Structure 1
């Protein structure tokens, strides 16, 4: 493929991603599903198809996606829900790999247990991107978002480790040993955690550079690639290294980065995430023709049995696993005289222990198991002479299509039908309580400054700031009173707040139009216009797109 063709292909991919994003905004359909269908369509157009390169995916696409997801996750929430996260991201992945392997060895002629386990490892880890994109729009409760995020961050490392061991056994490079496998898994995982921790604390020491927005962006973009490369060089889990680094750095960012750095870095990562996710789902669809062409050596019955075994384990084991790991521990805990955390609502949100999932929550979580590019990248990373590689690739592709399209299209309706939405009133109440506490801290700091430097600061400046803070505090208290009296999960409307937003937006628009008139009349040069316009942009940035509490 020539440079011109590559350039046109890249521009075409960006155009498709942008159009699909627009369609998603208008229709509410999942972008992942539409992009996958677009990829399938492209695969059957005349011309060269794009082959999925596993090394490219695992080295340059997966680390940035995982890192950005980790930055947006909560280290405290994941740690608080660690039992369920580990159950889904480690134990369930292992169980899926083993059951798929057993199913293939028993029912699919000519496929060994090790080859089946390799396929099971590839199809075991869900890709949370599609589920979270839909779930957030549907107002999924925070605890389920945390579990989906935590599982998606950690399960890839488990799956890739199992895949590596199973691949070596299937190709005769080593003999299987439970003790050796467990030891290798623990070593690889612990090494990945250690590398991620080291990279995160190295970035912390670079906080002098992180004060500058451009330097902060450069450091942030390099961090996932550095963590992954160092871990792979040390033959430990690069995926875990990236995730751990992202979780720690995301937790530290509010303390060690400036506001300007956070705004710019966040904007850059949103763009990268938007484009990489789009490319990933396009690549998934484009593999259909290649995968189907590799099935010519197999009879129909073998293909049907292999796909049925794989899909059966993937679709049925997850809900069964959630029932066994959530309902049984709760009943045993109650039987032993324990108390549910739900009986202690007075605990602060950040200190509550992990709660058991309800039946509705388990149902939604069981349907959030969409598979994605890591499944295809994993199965394509198997050696070219791997036994039954084409059959395994088709089974993996079938799982991706069924879960991505089937579950992706039905996930939002399921959430809506079950009535499982986050309590927006509680969220609004917590935000306003935190805002009030922050303003009170600012007023206290003003008093300290006035006592320490009363001769160097004008009283008028202090009083102006004090009045502004007091107005904000009064507004938050008024909103809190309204929220305390609300008996609906949706915050009560605030006409005064909505009117204030409308007025502030109108004022910013008027200021911007006047600056443009000055520029067009030759009274203001473009350099100064950009400076002044940036000030208005920052003011506009803090205004919500729709009224929120």
Structure 2
């Protein structure tokens, strides 16, 4: 209901669900819900990360690896360090180790928040690729920083080289475990007699298997899921039949929608639990600390993104040759898209109640600051992002997609036509259905060549889009006629459902075309 309402009023649903959960949580008499961090890490995180990895293009991910690495590793460490020193100076009794714990908690932007806010907005594809790629890896690096800082508080020892070595070992072994399990699953999908239902079930087992195995050996479960998901996604065309692909996609869309909805509304519902433990602080103190740190996290990202985008181009000729210098507007959108989410809250809740037999210092303050940072970045940045994109006049130039679509249609129709002529030439001459199909492919090639030839002609592009609009309108007309046939009981229910499904697939193809 809340998601439908968010669609109606035009607000991204993660933002709306957090606000709704916040309002529901303060209603008198409402039961307090305590979010267990183990539930988030074990139940929610693996499938959400796996789905994000599955829908990420490995080619685009690898092409943007420098930008993604600088954000998902460099920015996380930079944010954690800056937050550590600022909180150490700002909050009485806050040690540097505690500051690094907080920095590790609030450093990673949320994958779902960024992509859902950008959904439907016309932004360059590279911006979306960088943000999605960043959100796949930054959870792992932030959790490693968090664990190292927490261990420092518990043991009282911190050795820089050892922390760096642990970081690399945890990350590398997580990737190796994820890829190893992905190869086993590849063999099962590819060579065993699976059905669409078995394939779908295996895709749900996969992320949990990767995550639990890696975490059992104290390595990065996040990187295990991401690396395994990217590998299987890259090989998906070899693994699944069309039935498996369709069933898996539909089921995953529903499950991920439910998981995201639950996670974001649970964030809002945590406020009463967070506030209960703040008795030793005044309202002014905790609010001022939280707001200052929220603003700092936003500024840190902006300070990092611009130099990391332009300085490598200034220093390295190879970067200048491979990549076009980006305008500052899309770079600013990347810098502004730092909305925090459920991983930050789960990390804060994972702070132990006791350390060395004593209450963990400032634990309730950690929770409150984390909650406010999530709320501040998600609501303030998330709500302002569409207006910023419009104000900065950022648009995604879809010409490349139009050309790619036309080129692919031409190539596919050409090979289909060549195959028909080589194997069914006699039937084409003698039977009308074969001849009509041949003419259809010839028309597809003709239309694709026309698009490629006139891709820069605004009038031609307008007519092509009007042509697609006409086809969609014809589908609506066909649906109206199917409705009449159903009322007249002229055709069987099975035939009506078959034709409706055909129209659904045709509409999906037209609406997904650039």
TM-score, scaled relative to structure 1: 0.86
Corresponding position of 1:97: 80
Corresponding position of 1:369: 338
Question: Does structure 1 residue 203 correspond to structure 2 residue 172?
Answer: no
From 465, 469, 472, the equivalent of 2:444 is 472
Q: Is the 8 A contact 1:127 1:374 kept in 2?
A: yes
Question: Does structure 1 residue 247 correspond to structure 2 residue 230?
Answer: yes
Q: Is the 8 A contact 2:50 2:229 kept in 1?
A: yes
Change over 3 Å in CA distance of 1:469–1:493 after alignment to 2: closer
Question: Does structure 1 residue 313 correspond to structure 2 residue 296?
Answer: yes
Between the aligned partners of 2:319 and 2:133, the Cα distance in structure 1 is: 25
Query: Structure 1, unaligned stretches of length 5 or more?
Result: 1-18, 342-352
Question: Does structure 1 residue 498 correspond to structure 2 residue 469?
Answer: yes
Corresponding position of 2:353: 384
Corresponding position of 2:160: 178
Corresponding position of 2:357: none
Displacement of 1:481 in angstroms is: 3.7
- Give the secondary structure class of the aligned counterpart of 1:297: coil
Corresponding position of 1:330: 313
- Give the secondary structure class of the aligned counterpart of 2:119: helix
Question: Does structure 1 residue 127 correspond to structure 2 residue 110?
Answer: yes
Between the aligned partners of 1:492 and 1:112, the Cα distance in structure 2 is: 65
Q: Is the 8 A contact 1:39 1:284 kept in 2?
A: yes
Question: Does structure 1 residue 425 correspond to structure 2 residue 396?
Answer: no
Q: Cα RMSD over matched residues?
A: 2.6
TM-score, scaled relative to structure 2: 0.91
Displacement of 1:355 in angstroms is: 4.4
Question: Does structure 1 residue 543 correspond to structure 2 residue 507?
Answer: yes
Change over 3 Å in CA distance of 1:55–1:511 after alignment to 2: same
Corresponding position of 1:191: 173
- Give the secondary structure class of the aligned counterpart of 2:235: helix
Question: Does structure 1 residue 261 correspond to structure 2 residue 241?
Answer: no
Displacement of 1:303 in angstroms is: 2.4
Question: Does structure 1 residue 230 correspond to structure 2 residue 199?
Answer: no
Q: Is the 8 A contact 2:37 2:346 kept in 1?
A: yes
Corresponding position of 1:221: 204
Change over 3 Å in CA distance of 1:365–1:425 after alignment to 2: same
Corresponding position of 1:436: 410
Question: Does structure 1 residue 42 correspond to structure 2 residue 20?
Answer: no
Q: Is the 8 A contact 1:216 1:265 kept in 2?
A: yes
Q: Is the 8 A contact 1:100 1:309 kept in 2?
A: no
Between the aligned partners of 2:91 and 2:117, the Cα distance in structure 1 is: 36
Corresponding position of 1:340: 320
Query: Structure 2, unaligned stretches of length 5 or more?
Result: 355-359
Deviations 1:277-298 (A, max 9, x none): 1111101111111112221112
From 375, 378, 381, the equivalent of 1:404 is 378
Displacement of 1:548 in angstroms is: 5.4
Question: Does structure 1 residue 486 correspond to structure 2 residue 458?
Answer: yes
Change over 3 Å in CA distance of 1:52–1:487 after alignment to 2: farther
Question: Does structure 1 residue 109 correspond to structure 2 residue 106?
Answer: no
Displacement of 1:130 in angstroms is: 2.2
Between the aligned partners of 2:235 and 2:193, the Cα distance in structure 1 is: 12
Displacement of 1:21 in angstroms is: 2.4
Between the aligned partners of 1:231 and 1:248, the Cα distance in structure 2 is: 16
Q: Is the 8 A contact 1:124 1:159 kept in 2?
A: yes
Between the aligned partners of 1:315 and 1:487, the Cα distance in structure 2 is: 43
Corresponding position of 1:143: 126
Corresponding position of 1:344: none
Change over 3 Å in CA distance of 1:54–1:24 after alignment to 2: same
